[in-house]
Amino acid sequence: MNKAKAEFFDSQVNSEWATKVFDKSESHKLERFFRMTELAPGMRVLEPGCGTGRLTELLAEKVGAGGSVVATEISAAMLAAATERLKIRGNVQVIHSPVEQYLDKQGRFDRIICHNVFPHFDHKKAVTRQMAEALIADGKFIVFHFGNSEWVNDLHRKTSPVVQNDMLPDKTEMMSILEHANLELESIHDDDLGYLLISRLRSTF
């Protein structure tokens, strides 16, 4: 676990981005996200770096009582906030762990959704491959931000030395990361509605 990053996100637990209710400016972004990720009742979802559980709550609603969401988080403060927010959700499990360590023990998800977390992985190629190995045969790996890559990367450069080098890769680098993980790009949007990458596990046939 990256202790410096865990402590940084501890300090952010009461910030507006971590606590606010989704508003109208985000509704169109969420509409595209849910339309294109095709979440459905009964699915099993993994959400690394769930923060305070803002998106987790919506994921739990989409998969319903017959589905489940596993949400991991390295920040103890974020974890506590997410646990409180999600305590009435019987289909959510919140775990204090880097996703890499969790995946050493668990597997098989319909969707793995990295919301606001992918830039913060220290070893993007390795962890993406590890996550891809936890997908079911037609499972999807998704990277989602409310801002586009230029906005996300500029924000990180200005926020703190702890995250100033945590960048969303450009398309060429991302394609290399996906290829290494045996993932095939389905679509990538990097525009006014944010950043949304959807990839699928390649067929072994």
Chain segment 140-155, per-residue pLDDT in tens: 999 999 999 999 999 9
Q: What is the DSSP letter of 49?
A: S
**What integer best gives the mean pLDDT of the chain?**
94
**Residue 47 clears pLDDT 80, i.e. is over it:** yes
Q: What is the pLDDT of residue 205?
A: 44
Token reading at 125: 């190629």
Closest by CA to 195, choosing from 84, 88, 113, is 113
Edge-to-edge, what's the strand order for the sheet holding 109-115?
Answer: 92-96, 68-73, 44-47, 109-115, 135-145, 194-201, 183-191
Q: What is the pLDDT of residue 150?
A: 97
Span 161-203, pLDDT tens digits:
999 999 999 999 999 999 999 999 999 999 999 999 999 998 7
Mean local confidence (pLDDT), 31-58 = 97
CB 31 within 8 A of CB 39: no
Closest by CA to 115, choosing from 62, 72, 67, 76, is 72
